[in-house]
Structure formats: structure tokens, C-alpha cells
Amino acid sequence: MDFDKTTVIKDLSFSVEAGEIFGFLGSNGCGKTTTIRALLGLYEPTGGSLLINGKKFNPRNTGRRLGYLPEERGLYKKEPVIDIMTYFGKLKGMKSNEAKKWSLDYLDRVELSDKSKIRLDKLSGGQQQKVQLGVTVMNNPELLILDEPTKGFDPVNRRLLMDIIEEQNKKGAGVIMVTHQMEEVERLCNRAILLKDGKAEAYGTIDDIKDNFGGQRIILRYKGKLQSRPNFFQIKEQDTSYAELIPKPNVDPQRILRELAICGNLQITTFDIQKPSLDEIFVSIYGEEVKHA
């Protein structure tokens, strides 16, 4: 994907399966938005295409199969909420009464039933975002692309919206979730891709990504004296009763446990094998200066 002879996206390829929640991650300016807009046909890519069930996506005749929640929300703000939702439901192939009933049920669920006849621009930003999500999922699309779906929400409302997204996923929808909320990715996503400078820096299952970036670490709590074993591990942090150990390449943590167990002056109270969090991997890839929010 080129702009003015500058390559923005290079050799990027990934798949999202039906019933999968897929994390689409990266720092600001890494190419996430450009990729999404190219997938949707808003930009003309230099090469490649979006396929849904093996068929090339065409916004004109297959758009009903896809739901898109942009980061920059965009609805008719001077119209009543129920009119907006009913209108978009009809665009997505629903009958007018069906779209209206679905919309009223949804508004009740997200605690906006008393706002159905109020103009959208009279609602708070978070309330408008709930309406936009409803418009996105109301026809049960096969693929959902959600750009920062819970940005700015408190924990209670974030949980409510994620429940709605998970329900769509359980109905068989594939979900591409663009987010900086790493804890949501770890909890919800089967696989993920991390972009850097328009290329895939990491791609695969969450466990695979963790294995490939940073490996394992051992949290050790003990009594006595911990001695260095440079052939087996590096001591990253240590005090009188706690240490964080980094195994040497190709050294199994259980081998380290056996080595420590034979030390007569060391009593182990905790030996916990951990993988790095996605948040730590994010920082290692993009640098400490990257802000996640």
C-alpha cells in the first residue's frame, strides 16, 4: 500500500476465522487505520483484497455481511436515536418494524430506553458510542471490525459492551478488534497481529506471541541464600526473599528447579513460571515512550 511513493503497508497478510476474536494491535502511525480502510474499500490497495468465506468483499453488494465501528463515530446527529437505528437497520436488509423492535430492545439493554426519541447530539459521547455499536451489530454480520470499541468507557459499561461483542462472536461472527486495551486482548482474543512500520512484527496465537517475545521468567520466593547459576539462569531482580529469574536459552524451568532443590542452604517457598504479558511485549516492540491510551 503506497502513498506518494511511500510504502505504508508492506506484504501484510492475515486471516480471521468464523467465531474468532482477533486482536489488531500497534502503536499510533503503524498502519492499523490504513489497513482497515483498505480492507473496507475506502483506499485502493496496491495489491491484495479482503475475502469473506472465500469471496472478494465488495461494499456495494456484500456490505451487509460486515459491520464496521470506526474510531471516529459517524451517525446523523440531528435525528432521533430510534429513527437513526431503524434507518440503518433497513439499509442492512431488515424490515422497518423488525429494525425498530430490535433497536428498542437494544436501547433497553444498554440503559438508553429513555433516550430513544432524543436527538443523538443531545447524548453524551459514551451514549452515542453505545448507539453506534448497536448499529454495527444489529444485522448479525459475519465479520465485525471494531476500532477501539470500549475507548473512554468506565469498567461497568466496558464490560456491558464486551458482553454484546462476545455474544456476536458466539453466534459465529469473526471479530477484528483494534484496541490498546491489552488486558481485553489477553482475555478475549484467540490470535493477534502486532504491526510496526506497516509490517507484521508478531502474528499468531497469544501463547505463540508470548513464547516468541521474551520467553519465560520464574518468580522465586525463598528462605536462605540464592546462589547464581549462570549456565542455567540470569537473576533479573533479587532481594532477601524474592527473585525473578530468566532461564538461559533451551534451559527448561524444571531443570532450574532441580538445580535449586539440591542446594542445602536454600528453601523454596514459591516457584512460579510466567510468560510476559502482552503489555510488556507491546512496550518491548514499540518502545517505552509509547502511550497505550
Predicted confidence (pLDDT) per residue in 97-150, tens digit: 999 999 999 999 999 999 999 999 999 988 998 999 999 999 898 889 998 888
Please give the CATH topology (third level) of the domain spanning 2-210.
Rossmann fold (3.40.50)
Segment of 60-74, 204-218, 265-279 carrying the highest mean pLDDT: 265-279
Which pLDDT value is given to residue 65?
80
Given a cut of 70, whether residue 218 has pLDDT beyond it is yes
Which pLDDT value is given to residue 14?
87
Can you give the pTM of this predicted structure? Answer: 0.79
* Residue ranges per structural domain of the chain: 2-210, 216-274
Cα separation, 29 vs 40, in Å, equals 19
Whether 226 and 241 have beta carbons less than 8 Å apart is answered as: no
CA 73 to chain centre: 18
Percentage of the chain with pLDDT > 70? 91
Within 14-154, where are the H helices? 32-39, 59-62, 81-91, 96-109, 125-137
Which pLDDT value is given to residue 52?
66
Residue with the larger pLDDT of the pair 73 and 193? 193
In this structure, what C-alpha cell is assigned to residue 5?
Answer: 511513493
Which pLDDT value is given to residue 292?
45
Q: What contacts 41, CB < 8 A, 6 or more positions away?
A: 57, 58, 59
Whether 104 and 116 have beta carbons less than 8 Å apart is answered as: yes
Predicted confidence (pLDDT) per residue in 49-75, tens digit: 777 667 776 666 655 688 888 877 678
Work out the mean pLDDT of the chain and round it to a whole number. Answer: 86
